[in-house]
Structures are given as C-alpha cells and as structure tokens.
Amino acid sequence: MELDIPSFLTNDELPFLNPPDYSEDQVDLREIPQKDEESALMKDLFSCLLGGDGTYIRRTKQNKYLVQAILRDSTQSFIDQLIPICDKFYYCQKFSETHYYLKYGKIVHTVCNAIRKYLLQFMEQVSEIEALPVKSLPVICINISKSAEFLDVLSEIVTKIENLKGPKICTIIHQAISTNRGLPYIREPLTALFNQSVQPILEYIEKWIYEGKIDDPYNEFFIQTNDISPDIPDPHRTYWNDHFTCNEENAPMFIPSAIINLIIATGKVQSIIADCNKQQLKQTNKITISSIQYEGELQEIYKSASNILISEMFSQYRLMDIFNTIWNVILFRRTDLFNIFYRVAGNKMRRDKSEISPADLEDLMSIVYKPFEFISVKLEKQQLLSVYTTIQSVTIKGATKQKNIRITSGTTQWEFFTLAPKVSWPISIVISKEFQEKYALFFRFILLWKRIERKFSNLYSFVNTFMRKHSKTSSMTILKVSAIRFSIHTFISSLINFISTSVIHPSFSKFKSAIQQSTTVEEIIDHHNMLQQSILKGLFFLNKDVFKDVMYIAAVCEKFASEVRSFFKSIDNDITTEEQRQKLSDPVLLQFQRFKKSVNALINNLNATSKNEASSVFTDFVLTVTCNRFYLTPQ
C-alpha cells in the first residue's frame, strides 16, 4: 500500500510559518468599543509576536505582517510600533530554522542555535506579558521595548549573514557589539551570541595548533591546503611556503593578522612533527577568545612545538652535521679534501677525451666523496653523454683530430659535475632544493679559483725548473714574465683568502651560533637565508658588473698560464736571443694588460658598490689589491 504523504511534509518551509491566503476585505473595528478593539488586536499580537497569525493581523506572501482592519488612530499608532517587531521575530525565526543544517557550515549552525535560544527567551517574555492580569497596547510596547531594539539589531545581522558562512559571520557580530557597546541590553546578548558563534573557530584552531590537522569539511575557515604538483622544481620549499596558506577572504577581522600568521605557523610545525611520526605537543589549556586575541599564550605554544621539531632536526636528522659537511666539503674549509680530490680527478681529467666516459667521472667522484653521507655528486648525464658521443665520433675519424682536442685542466669536463648537500624530509624545509643549488653554485665558483691557483702553483714550479736549467742565462724578459706571474698568482691567492677568511668563515660561524640559539623553525630558515645572501654577496653574485669582471679575470688568468707555458717552451734552447724572447713574450704581456684593465675595472666597481650599499664586505679585498699594486707592471 502506497503512503499518501501530505504536501506540507514535502515543503521546504515549516507549515506553521507559511502564510495562508487571506481576503483583502478589511473590517472596520472603529464600529466596536475601543476596549473591545484593543482586546481583539492584543489577542492577534500575542500570536504574531510568536510567529503566528491572528484574525485581523496576518502575514502576507511577502512575509510581512499586515493589519486587515480599519483602526482608530490612537490604536493604529501602537500597532505600527509592534508590527515591525513581529516581522523581525518571524524573519529571525525563519532564518534559524532554514539555515540550521550543517551544509551551511558549523558557524552558521552554531549561530542559528544561539538565535533559537534567544527567540525562546523572547517567547517566554511575551507569554509573561500575556499572563498579566492587566494589560494594554501601551503595556506591551513598554515591556518589550528593549527586546525590540535587540531584535532590530539581530535582524540586521541576519540580513548581512544570510548568504555567508565562516568567520565573516563572527566578524559581523563583533562589529555589531562595537557599534552598540553603550547599550548593555543589546551588547550583552550580542556578546553571548558572539561567544557561541566563535566556538567552531576555537575548536578549529585548537585542532590545528595541537595536532596539525585541518578540520574544515565545509570549507569555511581561514587556513587552506594547496596541493603541490610533483612538477614543481622545489616541492619541499613550496610545501613550507604554499602548502598551508591563509585564505584572506575567510580570515576573521577580530583576530590580528600577526596572530593569524602565528596560528598558521604553529600548525605547520605540528603538521611536520606528525609527518615525522613524532610525539606532538600535549594540549594543556583550552583555546579561548582571549587567547586568540593576544599573542602571549599562542607564542608559547608555537615555541614549545618548534622546540620539539628543532630538537628532532638536530638529534634525529643531524642538521648541524649537514651544515658542517657543507662548510668543510662544498665550501672547501678542509683544503686537504680538495688536494685529494684534485689528485684523484686531475690525473684522469687530463687523459684524452675519448678515454673519459660518464662512468669514469662518477667513479672518481665517488672515490673522494663517498665517505660523506650528506654530499650528493651531481652529474649532468644528458649533456655529458651528448658531448661524449661527439668526442667518440671525432675519434673514429682519425687519431690526428683526436690529438687536437686533448683535455687540459682548463678545458675539461669539470663543468658536467658538481657537489650539493644531500638532505631528506624534514631538513629539506631548511635546506630546500633552491638552497642546495646555490651551494652547488658556490662549489663551482670556488673550485674554479682553486683550480686556477693550483695551475699557477704548478706554473711556479715549471718556471723555477726552467730558470735553474738556464741559470747561466741572464734575461730581463724572463725575469719580467716571472714577476708578472708572481703578481697574478698573488692576486689569485688574495682572492681565495678573501673568500675563505672574510666571507665564508665569518658568515658560517655567525650562522652556526645563531641557529643554536634559535627557538623556531622560521628563525632557522631566516638565518639560513641571511647566510646564503651573505655568501652570494661575498662571492660577487649579487652585482652583475662585478661578477662579470671576476669571471673575465678568471678567463684571463687561465689564458695567461697557458701563454706563459708556451713562452718558456719556445725559449727552452740556447739559440734564442733576447730580442726574440721579447717578441715571444708579447702574448704573455697582452694577457697581463687585459688582467690589469679588468682588475682596475673590478676595483672601481667594488668601490662604487661599497659606497652605494654602505657595505664594508669588499673593503679588505680592495685594500689588499690596491696597496700591493698587483695590477701594475713590475719594473
């Protein structure tokens, strides 16, 4: 048997709220005694004030109450005061009934519940007035005047929040409290409404800052989770900055932005601790309205959670050991590692290109750096394989061409590998891929100048061997070339010493001291940012003109060393005259002229940089170069 469901049960609106169709014919109540007129209207009013209908006062299809009668003027004035109260009660009641469902969000649900509680109190007040032994329209107006004022404010709030959800609703209520702070009978119930409406926010914040979890099934709160694409070059750095962000549109205005940022940061830390399967901070106090409006309590929670994560980073994940490895290996604090590295790698790199394969490069790198667990040897295999294939194809064409492309320490496959820190989660939040690539860049830059210095050290031995061999030969040209070599070598040594003692050592020493005193992860990240900025500046990367000068000087030094070797090889006999030596030294002198010009340009750019930035980072280096006059031609 099929059930016949009444239409009022399938209607979205509650049956007692639906207005019936009334006739627009009006009754003239002026024809009856005024006492009877007032009594009839009061009976209707007590019904309408509770959301119902009466005989003469009825609700229209537009949900507005209308008097379907002609009244005396004195009676009409009181009715005009009371009808808007009926309208506002019904409007608030309808909102609380139709928006009570959770699909509108937790805050709307809580607000509706609070409104229903207040309306119930209002209904009790109306019932008490109705039970008075002596009552009249003026008595009703006087007794509900304050409640009517609050209903007026409440209906305005409902109008504003009708199509909203989330903390914006609490913000509107909070603003209404500020507007009516001088009226206790309005401020106090509004405060109670606000305190109830904000509870879902407090519970949401509590779960976030203590568990690192976002409990937002209806997408109404102010912390949003952004999916990170695996195609992003640096997902871990993006995770810290972008995985959890503030949805400004849903941010509550009554919470200062600094507190919101602190809340987000605390949850980030707890989320990372949870990802690492570590014991999270235990909850000691409930989050209250006062605790989210003042920084002190939340700051303590943030620092306590950060201490747990920092402790794990230093103990379990050995953050300080990683930074020590970066300093010792990648930034060449331990020079013996470079000597071992160069001795192992240099011999193989000077072989014929056809005899050097990518596997060879990987092998020689692993020999030196395999013992270091936090070092990653990166080999650009695709680019290297392309070059290697080209070399092999040239080799097949003939041995003659192969001899013309021999590898030296200046034109080798050094460019196809580099070193970088090897880190894992959660250390990758501090040393992200971006930072790892910068360390690799520092390694390549310092390696370049270390190789040039080693080349000049070998050149020194080469020249001394030549001069001992030809000790009986007196030549000003040879002495001049040797003096020039010494000048450039001294400049190179000064530059490397500046990088080591004036840039890297003080920057890293200051950084290590700072992170040991850090109380939050963000402080460690900030200190690491400052460290890398300091090294970037000290290694000339931040000034395009200065960096261009430094790299040009490196190229000139490489070329100069090659020309010096060629010069001494060309005069390694007993028949070359002094005039011929002078002629043969022209390429050497040409490179030295270029060296002088580029060093002068470097000094001018460094001086200009120091003045513009009010920085003394390059002062010692400039003074060393200027005072020793390395860029002048020896007499």
The pLDDT tens digits of the residues spanning 403-445 come to 333 333 334 445 566 777 888 888 888 888 888 888 888 888 8
> CA-to-CA distance for 109 and 107, rounded, in angstroms?
5
Residue 202 scores a pLDDT above 80: yes
Q: What's the whole-number mean pLDDT along residues 173-186?
A: 92
Alpha helices per DSSP H over 65-105 = 73-98
Residue 21 scores a pLDDT above 50: no
Helix, strand or coil, per DSSP, at residue 603: helix
527-571 per-position pLDDT tens digit = 999 999 999 988 988 888 888 999 999 999 999 999 999 998 988
pLDDT of residue 98: 92
DSSP code at position 468: H
Residue 89 — very low, low, confident or very high, per pLDDT cuts 50/70/90?
very high
Residue 303 scores a pLDDT above 80: yes
> CA-to-CA distance for 322 and 373, rounded, in angstroms?
9
Residue 161 — very low, low, confident or very high, per pLDDT cuts 50/70/90?
very high
Two tokens at 291? 């605790």
592-614 per-position pLDDT tens digit = 999 999 998 888 888 887 777 66
Residue 330 scores a pLDDT above 60: yes
Contact predicate 605/549, CB 8 Å: yes
How many Cα atoms occupy the beta-carbon half-sphere of 122 within 13 Å?
Answer: 29
Q: Which of 2-6, 119-123, 475-479 has the lowest mean pLDDT?
A: 2-6
235-263 per-position pLDDT tens digit = 555 666 677 888 888 889 888 888 999 99
> CA-to-CA distance for 428 and 433, rounded, in angstroms?
7
> CA-to-CA distance for 344 and 363, rounded, in angstroms?
10
DSSP code at position 148: H
pLDDT of residue 10: 54
> CA-to-CA distance for 559 and 574, rounded, in angstroms?
26
Residue 160 — very low, low, confident or very high, per pLDDT cuts 50/70/90?
very high
258-285 per-position pLDDT tens digit = 899 999 999 988 888 888 877 777 777 7
Write down the mean pLDDT value for the chain: 81
Residue 91 scores a pLDDT above 80: yes
Q: What's the whole-number mean pLDDT along residues 323-348?
A: 78
What is the β-pairing status of strands 69-70 and 417-421?
unpaired
pLDDT of residue 577: 86
pLDDT of residue 174: 93
pLDDT of residue 397: 40
Predicted model pTM: 0.74
Cα angle 394, 397, 399; round to 5 = 90
The residue type found at 628 is N
Q: What's the whole-number mean pLDDT along residues 283-306?
A: 84
The radius of gyration computed from the CA coordinates of the chain, to the nearest angstrom, equals 42
pLDDT of residue 117: 94
Residue 477 scores a pLDDT above 90: no
Q: Give, in order, the Cα–Cα distances in Å from 419 to each of 38, 362, 422, 429.
A: 95, 12, 9, 19
Q: Is the peptide bond before 235 cis (omega within 30 degrees of 0)?
A: no
- Residue that wins the pLDDT comparison between 102 and 612: 102
- Residue that wins the pLDDT comparison between 577 and 351: 577
Residue 61 scores a pLDDT above 50: yes
Two tokens at 310? 């920092």
> CA-to-CA distance for 470 and 475, rounded, in angstroms?
10
Q: Which of 30-39, 341-350, 365-374, 617-626 has the lowest mean pLDDT?
A: 341-350
Domain extents in the chain: 7-180, 199-316, 318-431, 445-635
Residue 578 — very low, low, confident or very high, per pLDDT cuts 50/70/90?
confident
DSSP H or E stretch at residue 65 = strand 65-67
